[in-house]
Structure 1
Amino acid sequence: MTKKMIKKSILVMVFIILGKVLALVRDSLIAAKFGANYTTDIYNFALGIVYLLTTISYGLTTTFIPVHTEHLQKSAKKIRDKFVNNVINVSSIVTIVVTIILIIFTKNIIYIFAHDFVNNPNVFKMSVEMTRIMLLSLIFVSLQSIVTGVLQCHNEFYEPAAMAFVSNAVYIIYLIFLTARYGIKGFAVATVIGFFAQFIINVPKYKKLGYKYQGYINFKDSEMLNMFKLMIPVIISTSLIQLNVFVNRSFAINIFSGAATILDCANKINTLAYEVFAIGIAMIVYPTMSELAAREDKTEYKIAVKRAINIIVLIMVPAAVAIAVLRQPLISIIFKRGAFTSSAAKLTSSALLFYCPAMIFYGIRDILNKAFYSIKDTKTPMINSFVGILINIVINIFIAKYMQVSGLTLATTISSIIVTIGMLISLNKKIGNIDVRKIFNVLAKTIFASLIMGVFIFGVNKFCMLLIASELKASILSIIMSFFIGTGVYMACIHLFKIEEYMYMISLVKQKIRRR
């Protein structure tokens, strides 16, 4: 990553962190207002369907970026605008048709994937109503995917990164002021409004770049059709990743009431660092990798891929260790209040422990996916995703009844490790040597440094819990002290190891200080 890219990544991460802070407030309010019961299970199920279908928009953005980047380099403004508007109109029509079909067959979907909801007529009725409401979000997701794709092609990343902040602000306003009056169904409506807010925040920058909406539609446009063909493996690949989450929820629903919510809470904490750092870095790196691939600059392309993976490792490994050690204080601060009981907190803590390693491989997997997509290989990630979900289902079948929710999280971790290693080997074979040995060397050093950090923050956490009687106050103090002490210990360790990417970032900081 260049100096400019690192600077953009940092600013993008700031926006994502702000969004995650509001997400924590949102999740805390959801736990307090609704607890872990069938109502939150219904909401999480309906949201899971929406997220499963947003893979289509993700595939659209992923394949749109390389095509439109080429337009910006070679085509006239009139041609590029025509293409963008055609994609917007055609994808919107398809999305509306799909949404209508899903609304018609909502009962059948619930019967297949959440059969336990059918046993209680009131629960079944509520699940149908909420799912139908939340399916309307897909229309705004489709529009947002193209607009954000345009912005990223112009290296405008701040608005897309701020989307979570805006939508979470909508959710928090509802949870604070309107929950008592409209309940969980009203929250489903608020979710739709949140997705609309994610779309609308990108529109001013989109217009500022000179784009204007036109009602142009051409279903036979060859370039658009080729893009849609490339989309199919991307959609399948991403759908399988989301389906993996959906399958876990389906297993959880059949374990005990509230198990799906326990799983969801563990997942939310686990993906904190992943969504802040890995997604931000992947967002910045992808247009650069696409450009290098288009120029056929294999040397710089390999360097960009390796450096992105190593930076992910340097960030995600200590984050995973820290969350594993501090999982109980985190759960106490975020969820343990109101209807979210000590029993639910204990179950969430157990599930989270087995989940933590997965976040490291999620981050690496995202970079590898972008690497394949940038060279127009959309099939390899699809095949690996399919293998991953098969592994996950098989492990779930054998261990879920013994380990319950913790078994589901362990299965996800094992699956993610196998799939990521398989993708790394495949990419190395496809483009030549990307110095896999160096990547594993950095991983080994980072794990060692993170474990040393983990010992220190474990001691800090124990000290805080013994020092203060109040669990909430002790948890807050533990998180704050662990952050500063853990960061210091970890940076000292990796500095001694002289890891290249770390030393590069340190040199940039020193240069900036000298200039000032």
Structure 2
Amino acid sequence: MTAPKPDQANAPSGSTAKIARSAGAVGGAVMCSRVLGLIREQLFAGLFGAGYAYDAFVVAFRIPNLLRDLFGEGALSAAFVTVFSDYDTNRGSQATWALASTVLIFFALLLSVLTLVGIYFAEPIVNLLAPDFASVAGKTLLTVKLTRIMFPFLFFVSLAAVVMGILNTKGRFFIPALASSFFNLGSIVGGVSLALLFPLFAQPAIAGMAWGTLIGGALQLGMQLPTLHKTGFRFSPRLRLKDPGLRRILLLMLPATIGLSATQLNIFINTNFAAGCAEGSVSWLNYAFRLVQLPIGVFGVALSIAVMPVMAKQAAAKRLDQLKQSFISSLILVFSLTIPATLGLILLAEPIIRLIFEHGVFAASDTLMTAQALRYYALGLFAYSAIKIMVPVFYAINTTRYPVIGSFLGVAANLIIINLLIEQFQHRGIALSTSAAMSCNFLFLGWVLIRKLEGLPLVYLARGVGKILLATGVMAGGVWWLRELLQGWLHGSIPLQALAVFLLVATGGLSYGLCLQLLRLPELTLLTGKLAQRFSKAPSSS
């Protein structure tokens, strides 16, 4: 068979355009959520700083959040989208909506039981996760109290993930992505209000933020329900345990629970190590990880949400050539956004953290420690985001055991590296080991996909990555030069800091974008074309 010319065979297709368009909508909504999330973290930093109370909150929230990522938004969402897409493509609306009702009822019951068990065993779970908290008077008791308040968050946010999967499969991306903004709004408005009130009733202020988290989780689920109704879904209060779709979802979830959990398992391990480092280490790592989650959410998660139903439908229709094309183009899009973001975070770690967090009781020393963690976390940004694209391919081609193996490799790498680095590097070693573990997972999954998907256009991928690296080098040089020029502003008043950071980010973004346009990266040209088309239509639609 004669192979088509590379430029024709591998140019972005209609499915890539659809992914880019959907990712743009999701990215905007996720950006809104991440900005609100940063405001939430600013409030935490100003009210509680880095130390006793916030350390306890981070560990307490991490317990239900770990289960959410392992069980809910990770495994459940991926498995559900795969099966739901197959039903929607091949079985008709009646069977599809019946499956949706069954899944919602089944997991509502299961999550209720898990929540009650978690509340009952909160103390031994906290002691397992952060045993060194016991050396600080009252810290374990406070963490247990906060854990019990926030455990029902698992129920709300996992069901929200199922609803999001339904809406994504039906082509609704913006509202589900915007739902997490309502979580942050609930956390900010409800949490801060209660944090100010609770001390009047002899309750710790940080407990108010815990209740705010629970309010936000309920809002994240509730705000999606009207859109779900508009898609044609009508709830059927019947639990069909023998539904083959439910069984298939559960079978897919078994490997997926581990396959999508490498980062969360490593966070669990890292929290244990961080709790034994200097007080404030848990807080510094959490603030840094929150910042690195901004590009992860906007780029990796947005593209993952957009690409998952597209590739699931392509696999269900046996269009593997289109699936390969969608995967490679999505991977290039991820690299084109995360590689410059990595360099930007490394160069601007301290100015960004100083501007966002150094207020109230958050000290200059906290800025320095958080910036060190952020730089090391940023090294794994490309791998974390790329894995978000790679794992759905394994679901689509029904080979879910490989993400499981990659997950174990990542956890093993993390344990080895963290034990080698923790004594000398302290919390910085934890951030570096996390990035190294994600990179190991990425390399393994990439190697497997090259073997499983014969005929992947690797030359096309390498050419795109080369252009991205060249443009990133140009951007980094310009940002470094301008940063040295603006040192006085970066250590000045808040307005001067904000202006300097804006100029640095804008200069970096413009120089990188212009360079890539000159180098003619097809995926970026397609994405900017779609954005220009959307804005050009805006006046006529208003």
> TM class by shorter-chain length?
over 0.9
Judging changes above 3 Å, is the alpha-carbon distance between structure 1 residues 324 and 474 closer, same or farther for their aligned structure 2 residues? farther
Which residue of structure 2 aligns with residue 123 of structure 1? 139
Deviations 1:419-469 (A, max 9, x none): 111111101111112123432332233123212211211222222222576
1:38 aligned to which of 34, 52, 72:
52
Q: 2:19 touches 2:310 (CA, 8 Å); kept in 1? A: no
Q: 1:36 touches 1:258 (CA, 8 Å); kept in 2? A: yes
Amino acid across the alignment from 2:478: F
Amino acid across the alignment from 2:261: S
Judging changes above 3 Å, is the alpha-carbon distance between structure 1 residues 512 and 397 closer, same or farther for their aligned structure 2 residues? closer
CA distance in 1, matches of 2:86, 2:256: 19
- Residues 1:136 and 2:156 aligned together: no
Which residue of structure 1 aligns with residue 12 of structure 2? none
Q: 1:167, CA displacement in angstroms?
A: 1.1
Which residue of structure 2 aligns with residue 379 of structure 1? 401
CA distance in 1, matches of 2:286, 2:178: 23
Which residue of structure 1 aligns with residue 24 of structure 2? 10
Q: 1:384, CA displacement in angstroms?
A: 0.2
CA distance in 1, matches of 2:328, 2:193: 48
TM-score by length of 2: 0.91
CA distance in 1, matches of 2:179, 2:528: 30
Amino acid across the alignment from 1:57: G
CA distance in 1, matches of 2:63, 2:428: 23
Q: Secondary structure of the residue that 2:237 maps to in structure 1?
A: coil
Amino acid across the alignment from 2:321: T
Q: Secondary structure of the residue that 2:98 maps to in structure 1?
A: helix
Which residue of structure 1 aligns with residue 306 of structure 2? 284
Which residue of structure 1 aligns with residue 179 of structure 2? 163
1:394 aligned to which of 395, 412, 416:
416
Q: 2:21 touches 2:527 (CA, 8 Å); kept in 1? A: no
Which residue of structure 1 aligns with residue 33 of structure 2? 19
Return 5+ residue gaps in structure 1 as ranges: none
1:249 aligned to which of 271, 280, 287:
271
Which residue of structure 2 aligns with residue 99 of structure 1? 115
CA distance in 1, matches of 2:440, 2:506: 33
CA distance in 2, matches of 1:225, 1:307: 33
Which residue of structure 2 aligns with residue 370 of structure 1? 392
Deviations 1:148-171 (A, max 9, x none): 111111011111110221111112
2:78 aligned to which of 59, 62, 82:
62
Which residue of structure 2 aligns with residue 486 of structure 1? 508
Q: Secondary structure of the residue that 2:138 maps to in structure 1?
A: helix
Which residue of structure 2 aligns with residue 146 of structure 1? 162
Q: Secondary structure of the residue that 1:257 maps to in structure 2?
A: coil
Q: 2:191 touches 2:212 (CA, 8 Å); kept in 1? A: no
2:326 aligned to which of 294, 298, 304:
304
Amino acid across the alignment from 2:332: N
Q: Secondary structure of the residue that 2:359 maps to in structure 1?
A: coil
Amino acid across the alignment from 1:384: G
2:233 aligned to which of 187, 191, 211:
211
Q: 1:513, CA displacement in angstroms?
A: 8.7
Q: 1:508, CA displacement in angstroms?
A: 5.0
Which residue of structure 2 aligns with residue 348 of structure 1? 370
User: Relative to structure 2, which stretch is displaced further, 3-12 or 99-108?
Assistant: 3-12
CA distance in 2, matches of 1:419, 1:23: 27
Q: 2:489 touches 2:500 (CA, 8 Å); kept in 1? A: no
Judging changes above 3 Å, is the alpha-carbon distance between structure 1 residues 240 and 314 closer, same or farther for their aligned structure 2 residues? closer
CA RMSD of aligned residues (A): 2.0
User: Relative to structure 2, which stretch is displaced further, 168-177 or 79-88?
Assistant: 168-177
Q: 1:76, CA displacement in angstroms?
A: 4.0
Q: 1:500, CA displacement in angstroms?
A: 2.7
Q: 1:497, CA displacement in angstroms?
A: 2.6
Amino acid across the alignment from 2:72: S
Q: 1:464 touches 1:474 (CA, 8 Å); kept in 2? A: no
Q: 2:191 touches 2:213 (CA, 8 Å); kept in 1? A: no
Q: 2:133 touches 2:139 (CA, 8 Å); kept in 1? A: yes
Q: Secondary structure of the residue that 1:162 maps to in structure 2?
A: helix
Q: 1:137, CA displacement in angstroms?
A: 1.0
CA distance in 1, matches of 2:484, 2:25: 34
CA distance in 2, matches of 1:510, 1:406: 41
Q: 2:295 touches 2:341 (CA, 8 Å); kept in 1? A: yes
User: Relative to structure 2, which stretch is displaced further, 157-166 or 5-14?
Assistant: 5-14
CA distance in 2, matches of 1:384, 1:317: 22
CA distance in 2, matches of 1:195, 1:132: 15
- Residues 1:194 and 2:216 aligned together: yes
CA distance in 2, matches of 1:83, 1:253: 43
Judging changes above 3 Å, is the alpha-carbon distance between structure 1 residues 124 and 303 closer, same or farther for their aligned structure 2 residues? same
User: Relative to structure 2, which stretch is displaced further, 184-193 or 114-123?
Assistant: 114-123
Which residue of structure 1 aligns with residue 10 of structure 2? none
CA distance in 2, matches of 1:154, 1:43: 37
Which residue of structure 2 aligns with residue 48 of structure 1? 62
Which residue of structure 2 aligns with residue 504 of structure 1? 526
Q: 1:255, CA displacement in angstroms?
A: 0.7
Amino acid across the alignment from 2:193: F
Judging changes above 3 Å, is the alpha-carbon distance between structure 1 residues 509 and 181 closer, same or farther for their aligned structure 2 residues? closer
Which residue of structure 1 aligns with residue 97 of structure 2? 81
Which runs of structure 2 are paired with 1:314-353 in the superposition (5 Å)? 314-353=336-375
Deviations 1:55-78 (A, max 9, x none): 211312211112112222333433
Amino acid across the alignment from 1:330: I
Q: 2:23 touches 2:302 (CA, 8 Å); kept in 1? A: yes
Q: 2:83 touches 2:248 (CA, 8 Å); kept in 1? A: no
Return 5+ residue gaps in structure 2 as ranges: 1-14, 199-204
Q: 1:372 touches 1:380 (CA, 8 Å); kept in 2? A: yes
Amino acid across the alignment from 1:98: L
CA distance in 2, matches of 1:467, 1:122: 42
CA distance in 2, matches of 1:485, 1:275: 22
Amino acid across the alignment from 2:60: A
Q: Secondary structure of the residue that 2:261 maps to in structure 1?
A: helix
Identity %: 25
Q: 1:374, CA displacement in angstroms?
A: 1.5
CA distance in 2, matches of 1:292, 1:338: 52
How many residues are matched? 516
Which residue of structure 2 aligns with residue 448 of structure 1? 470
Q: 1:65 touches 1:150 (CA, 8 Å); kept in 2? A: yes
Which residue of structure 2 aligns with residue 184 of structure 1? 206
Q: 1:115, CA displacement in angstroms?
A: 0.5
Q: 1:94, CA displacement in angstroms?
A: 1.2
Q: Secondary structure of the residue that 1:326 maps to in structure 2?
A: helix
Deviations 1:151-209 (A, max 9, x none): 11101111111022111111221354332222111211111111111100110011112
Q: Secondary structure of the residue that 2:66 maps to in structure 1?
A: helix
Amino acid across the alignment from 2:485: F
User: Relative to structure 2, which stretch is displaced further, 465-474 or 32-41?
Assistant: 465-474
Q: 1:91, CA displacement in angstroms?
A: 1.2
User: Relative to structure 2, which stretch is displaced further, 339-348 or 65-74?
Assistant: 65-74
Judging changes above 3 Å, is the alpha-carbon distance between structure 1 residues 76 and 489 closer, same or farther for their aligned structure 2 residues? closer
Amino acid across the alignment from 1:142: S
Q: 2:77 touches 2:161 (CA, 8 Å); kept in 1? A: yes
Q: 2:262 touches 2:438 (CA, 8 Å); kept in 1? A: no
